[in-house]
Amino acid sequence: MGSYREFHRRSIAERDSFWAEEAKLVYWHKPFGKVLDYSQPPFAKWFVGGETNLCYNALDRHLAARGKQKALVWISTEVDQTRSFTYEELFSEVNRTAAMMQSLGVGRGDRVIIYMPMIPEAAFAMLACARIGAIHSVVFGGFAAASLAARIDDARPALMITADGGSRMGKVVTYKSLVDEALKLAKHPPKKVLLFKRGLDPAMRIVEGRDVDWNSLEKNFSGKSVPCAWLESSEPSYILYTSGTTGHPKGVQRDVGGYAVALASSMRRIFCGEAGESMFTTSDIGWVVGHSYIIYAPLIAGMTTIMYEGVPIRPDAGIWWKIVQDYKVAVMFSAPTAVRVLKKHDPAFLKKYDLSSLKHLFLAGEPLDEPTHVWITEALGRPVIDHYWQTETGWPLLSAHPGVEKTPLKMGSPSFPVYGYDVRLLHEVTGKPVADGEKAVVTITPPLPPGCMTTVWGDDARFVKTYFNDFKGQLVYSTFDWGIRDKDGYYFILGRTDDVINVAGHRLGTREIEEAVSMHPDIAECAVVGVADELKGQMPLAFAVSKSNSFEKKKLEREIMETVDRQLGAIARPKAVHFVTLLPKTRSGKTLRRSIQALAEGRDPGDLTTIEDPNALEQIKQALHP
């Protein structure tokens, strides 16, 4: 493990020279003067004074050498279509989109909310924002109107970009009608909505004077070229909202230069993606994995990126492997839930196609259980690399580094700290480093490396308070994940320390779900916990107290689920709603979520000395096992 260890050591001990070297992987319009300004901890400014542009690095830079190479291949098994764009074609689409956005008044520093299905126009819009220095905030299409409205009010966009609809399992999902609803709820709606019509929602309404038709507008800007805005390295590139312990999502803000360097570097050292090869990331552009490894990193690396609209089992469970064969995919990135879904289908699908182009399959987003890791490794006959990171970090935090050294993989482990991250396992109470084999909180001693979040959008104080305040007296970044390191230095992630749950790789705050449940007029209070689920990893489970004594349980449960669908989206819908007359709380009024969760998973509820009324726990038990 010599070369990985040395690589990691240098990234921390010789930080400036190490990152100055990695920074050569990207194009700098103006060279940076200083590698890192850490004069105001924990705020880190990387590559100070340097000017660059994400879109330039993703597109312009490749035109001379690979203009005719495919840059983006879009495959939709939902509408049975495939569209491909060479670097030249993608460049011209992005320029045209940038011109369209400018014509709608969008300039440098303005926010643009992108609420779109997985279609090439979503990629054009993101890259066009990057080109002109506008700050995109992509909102996952599965979020409902109220969630979208909360993000609109926080970001205050100059423009929203959407489409009439998307499709999932052959069913149309109407995006535009949700946008209309969100804009009614929002206090700070944008003046314009740019609308791409796919012909999926014939009943869609147009709001005159506000909605602008993409296809009509683009006719005015054919062949238009828009120069790149040269941004100082620390200027914001995007905001991506993520769930935490409060009901109010945080806008994770990312820079330009640090992000470009981290992504370019990760493609070389971790993902081993070479220019000219194909990368297939099965995530959605609404999540951080989609930002980093569908859009920016593969393009910065000069690869062909594959964007997929569909599910892994339609038309059959071989579709992803057919894509690997047809497009000679070299690097694939997916999530454990998808693999667990495939595991339920005939393994012959994995043998049906020629997968010889595939170097590695990377999996992240949620814990990868050992049996699933073993199954997919054997079925594929390729290294399957579990790696761990967060929306906040933007790129891997724990991983194997096959581009540095091919270290042996351990099933169920995301291997080692990624270079640049000074990872420590600290005791929850004492804040002291723990011995190997002891469970503790995964932390990073700042400065955070390039590519990580630079602050919470519009709220520097919240950035410090949320992430750096857990170990009093010590300024350390908490991941809010439990971890353990074995005697060989391999890490294992053991779930969250906070009230965040992970449903099929989708990160959700239980408080957000509780607030949504409480929107039902008949609910007095509730507690939502994440319980283990064989397929999705975790599922939300709700315990609610009704305002009245007589109600029909099934009816109220259904109504609550519909309320959650409306407030947050179907991804947050509880598996079940159990009714109780009181919730277990401490004497100071804190709900004992960990105890409820333990009971729901059939474990010991733990220390109950602080409970106000033990009766409440009995009710939870009764509700779970009537």
Contacts with ligand PRX, residue ranges (CB under 6 A): 242, 288-289, 364-368, 386-391, 414, 479, 481, 493, 496, 502, 507
Question: HSE on the CB side for 495, CA within 13 Å?
Answer: 13
Considering the complex, state which of residue 28 and residue 467 has its C-beta at the smaller distance from ligand PRX.
467
Considering the complex, state which of residue 182 and residue 508 has its C-beta at the smaller distance from ligand PRX.
508
The CA distance from 148 to 607, in Å, is 39
Considering the complex, state which of residue 307 and residue 556 has its C-beta at the smaller distance from ligand PRX.
307
Considering the complex, state which of residue 176 and residue 485 has its C-beta at the smaller distance from ligand PRX.
485
The DSSP symbol for 227 reads P
The CA distance from 496 to 38, in Å, is 29
State the minimum distance, in angstroms, from the CB of residue 537 to ligand PRX: 9
State the minimum distance, in angstroms, from the CB of residue 359 to ligand PRX: 19
Considering the complex, state which of residue 158 and residue 338 has its C-beta at the smaller distance from ligand PRX.
338
The CA distance from 132 to 319, in Å, is 37
Q: Which two tokens stand for residue 620?
A: 């939870």
State the minimum distance, in angstroms, from the CB of residue 557 to ligand PRX: 28
State the minimum distance, in angstroms, from the CB of residue 242 to ligand PRX: 5
State the minimum distance, in angstroms, from the CB of residue 508 to ligand PRX: 9
Instruction: Write phi, then psi, for 115 (nearest 5 degrees).
Output: -125, 85
Considering the complex, state which of residue 56 and residue 477 has its C-beta at the smaller distance from ligand PRX.
477
The CA distance from 168 to 140, in Å, is 14
The CA distance from 257 to 10, in Å, is 21
- Contact by Cβ (8 Å): 411, 374: yes
Considering the complex, state which of residue 198 and residue 593 has its C-beta at the smaller distance from ligand PRX.
593
State the minimum distance, in angstroms, from the CB of residue 553 to ligand PRX: 33
State the minimum distance, in angstroms, from the CB of residue 302 to ligand PRX: 23
State the minimum distance, in angstroms, from the CB of residue 65 to ligand PRX: 31
State the minimum distance, in angstroms, from the CB of residue 492 to ligand PRX: 8
Indicate the length of the chain as a whole number: 626
* Residue 93: C-alpha distances to residues 59, 110, 184, 286, 583 (Å): 11, 21, 31, 21, 55
Closest CA to 85 of 73, 98, 76: 73
Considering the complex, state which of residue 198 and residue 387 has its C-beta at the smaller distance from ligand PRX.
387
Ranked by CB distance to ligand PRX, the top (closest) residue is 391
Considering the complex, state which of residue 57 and residue 497 has its C-beta at the smaller distance from ligand PRX.
497
Can you point out the beta strands (E) in 379-490?
Answer: 384-386, 398-399, 416-417, 423-426, 440-444, 455-456, 477-485
The CA distance from 163 to 281, in Å, is 22
Strand order in the sheet with 423-426: 423-426, 440-444, 477-485, 491-496
